[in-house]
Structure 1
Amino acid sequence: MTSRPRTPAPDHGKAAGPRRPLRARAAALRERLMLGLFVPLRRKRTAQLRYAAILDGQTVNLHAQLPPSAGLPDRAEIVLRRGRRRHPAEARVHTGPDGEALVDAAILLGAEVGGVPVGTGRWRLRLRVHSGRRSRTLSLLLLQPPKPYEGPTKPMAASPVTGERHRLGRSLRGSARVVSTGARPAVEVTKVHLGHAGVTVDFRVLGTRAEEPWAEFVASGRRIEQPVTPLGPGTYRVDVPLGQMPPRGTRPDHWDVVLADRTGRPMRLGRRLHDVRNPLRVFAMRAMAITPHGHPPLIVQPRYTPAGNLRITCTRMPEAG
């Protein structure tokens, strides 16, 4: 295969450092202004969120208490609004243990998954309650944003289907909103086929388009280019070139997998759209003895690094010495 130009991935982290203290001070000032001024003025006229989170990357879970002035409505709905666009979603009204009126809702986001067709941007969350022929719209007050929790899993940062990212935010006055952004450019591994005849990797490209792509297998001082096979829109398969990957010495070689294209934007293959904290342990794959055609047998083990990048370790069989 003809050698192609390669462009290293850009480093976006250098300029972020000096801005972090300014952002922290601005956030603290905003918090004091919201809690000290706007929240006391609005508390009696708004529904207060007791719980709000997006746990699976694409479903907004809400639990709110209505103000006494709203009574116990017959029904309710959550309305997502941005500009002139409005999308209602069903909510459930019920009575709490102390007689208070409560509302629960689970709102799936994204037309691709059969949910509310939100696009990128900030979407206001409002509660519309109905009592007979009368209706009333209330703001949803979010006093505390969702807090990360400890454990083997964590909240999904992106939709596992589309890669789009949704998070809960607050306006200056404390009103809840959903902030949606498009999928970040990434190459997501969907399946690793491991057999005695060889290894193939299926993957999909998110947040960008790959123009005439190919794969590169990269180890210390070595680089192997390999063609990819389209499986569908944005999805591909690559055969791992094990015949060219035996270690040159006695120590194992660790190969990273990169997708490149003619635009010069290399991206590492990995697993990003998950909720586990340790992909190396949770997505562990077994090692297998594989004999590439015309070559001595190898011990091959695909695995994921702590950052979620796909890595393939090749070790010579002891008897192949």
Structure 2
Amino acid sequence: MRRAVLRRALAPLRGRLLRGVFLPLRGKRSARLLYAAVLDGQTMNLQAELPASAQPVEDAVLLLGRGRTLHEYPARVHRDRSGRFLADTAVLLGAEAGGVPVPTGATRLRLRVSSGRARRSYPLLLVESPHTYQGTTRPMTASPISGDRYRFGRSLTGSALLRRLPAVPGVEVVDVHIQHARIDVSVRLVGLEAGEPWCEFVASGRRIPAGLAETEPGVWRAEVPLAEMYPVSDRREHWDVLLHTGERRPHRVARLLHDLSDPQRVLAMRQVVVAPQKDRLMSVEPRYTPAGNLRFTCRRVDETA
């Protein structure tokens, strides 16, 4: 917490040093990032302007890694209408996604260009912070496979850094299916060891243990009878789904790994009416809370209504 406060307090000073000292000194010997984003949570997209000293350029590759462990990815070099030489590249991140393994922490980025036998590598300067997006979708904040989070940062002198943060432990919804007599919820664990998990549906003053089975590697399905969720009164009952993994606190089943700005509206599910018991009707409304947690709202239905 103290480090974060200190970092925010020093941000204006760092900005003045960057623009007043380091950019003028390094601008002619560095490639300037014009665009940097991880759009789907695991694919890094970059566009950089090459310094005038690099021209002409026949070939370019992005260098990503630490120390002697460097990964190379081809970059497309082209000239824009104003005559600038630009390099574009896209890199899949994360070994679990079939991409480059990225260690936890900060990794530097460089661009190596060549013309004939001549080669030269340039650090990438991140002058402007990544932009905030608005609309129905946005860049994903975490990998949809691993949950790992990738962020762009920069050193004191302006060099671009790719930071990898481990996944926030959680339980992600895979599928929800309401049948005539039960609810099936398929989930997968993110950043968690399964151990011997067990699940329960929880409402105010009520708890229902749910059967839990691994249907495929890493995917678990919880089942609960709808008859046990029938409201005890005419008031609505709101059921949350909790998964226990042996840790001190259970995890709420949720839908967080997406690129939607308004998941409540886009991921809305249909309300259904079922007869879980003889001569008793009940409406079941599955939905996601503002925090992304899965919730089922149940209420009695008058058969004559």
Q: Normalised by the size of structure 1, how large is the TM-score?
A: 0.90
In the alignment, structure 1 residue 216 sits paired with structure 2 residue 200: yes
Partner of 2:236: 252
State which of 138, 161, 172 in structure 2 corresponds to 1:154.
138
Amino acid at match of 1:272: L
Shift of 1:293: 5.7
In the alignment, structure 1 residue 285 sits paired with structure 2 residue 256: no
Return the alpha-carbon distance in structure 2 between the equivalents of residues 175 and 56 of structure 1. 23
Match of 1:292, SS?
Answer: strand
Return the alpha-carbon distance in structure 2 between the equivalents of residues 154 and 295 of structure 1. 47
Partner of 2:249: 265
Partner of 2:25: 41
Return the alpha-carbon distance in structure 1 between the equivalents of residues 16 and 205 of structure 2. 54
State which of 261, 275, 282 in structure 1 corresponds to 2:259.
275
Partner of 1:12: none
State which of 154, 157, 176 in structure 1 corresponds to 2:160.
176
Amino acid at match of 1:182: P
Return the alpha-carbon distance in structure 2 between the equivalents of residues 30 and 231 of structure 1. 52
Structure 2 segments unaligned to the other structure (5+ residues):
none
In the alignment, structure 1 residue 309 sits paired with structure 2 residue 258: no
Amino acid at match of 2:94: G
Return the alpha-carbon distance in structure 2 between the equivalents of residues 224 and 185 of structure 1. 24
Is the CA contact 1:122–1:180 (under 8 Å) kept in the aligned structure 2? yes
In the alignment, structure 1 residue 53 sits paired with structure 2 residue 37: yes
Match of 1:123, SS?
Answer: strand
Q: Deviations over 1:137-177 (max 9, x none)?
A: 00111101102122222211001122111111111111111
Q: Normalised by the size of structure 2, how large is the TM-score?
A: 0.94
Instruction: Report the number of matched residues.
Output: 305
Return the alpha-carbon distance in structure 1 between the equivalents of residues 73 and 270 of structure 2. 45
In the alignment, structure 1 residue 26 sits paired with structure 2 residue 10: yes
Return the alpha-carbon distance in structure 2 between the equivalents of residues 44 and 119 of structure 1. 30
Match of 1:105, SS?
Answer: strand
Cα-Cα RMSD: 1.8
Amino acid at match of 2:82: D
State which of 118, 142, 145 in structure 1 corresponds to 2:129.
145
Amino acid at match of 1:223: R
Match of 1:43, SS?
Answer: helix
State which of 74, 92, 109 in structure 2 corresponds to 1:108.
92
Shift of 1:243: 1.7
Shift of 1:186: 0.6
Q: Deviations over 1:248-284 (max 9, x none)?
A: 1111101111111333331000101001122111100
Q: Where do 1:91-102 residues align within 5 Å?
A: 91-102=75-86
Amino acid at match of 1:60: M
Q: Which 10-residue stretch deviates more, 266-275 or 289-298?
A: 289-298
Partner of 1:67: 51
Q: Which 10-residue stretch deviates more, 167-176 or 290-299?
A: 290-299
In the alignment, structure 1 residue 85 sits paired with structure 2 residue 72: no
Q: Which 10-residue stretch deviates more, 220-229 or 306-315?
A: 220-229
Partner of 2:188: 204
Return the alpha-carbon distance in structure 2 between the equivalents of residues 19 and 106 of structure 1. 32
Shift of 1:320: 8.1
Shift of 1:19: 6.3
Return the alpha-carbon distance in structure 1 between the equivalents of residues 41 and 118 of structure 2. 35
Return the alpha-carbon distance in structure 1 between the equivalents of residues 162 and 299 of structure 2. 48
List, as ranges, runs of 4+ consecutive aligned residues in structure 1 with deviation greater than 6 Å: none
Shift of 1:178: 0.7
User: Cα–Cα, structure 1 residues 93 and 298, in superposed 2: closer, same or farther, change >3 Å?
Assistant: same
More strand by share: 2
Structure 1 segments unaligned to the other structure (5+ residues):
1-15
Return the alpha-carbon distance in structure 2 between the equivalents of residues 136 and 160 of structure 1. 36
Return the alpha-carbon distance in structure 1 between the equivalents of residues 17 and 29 of structure 2. 19
Shift of 1:101: 1.1
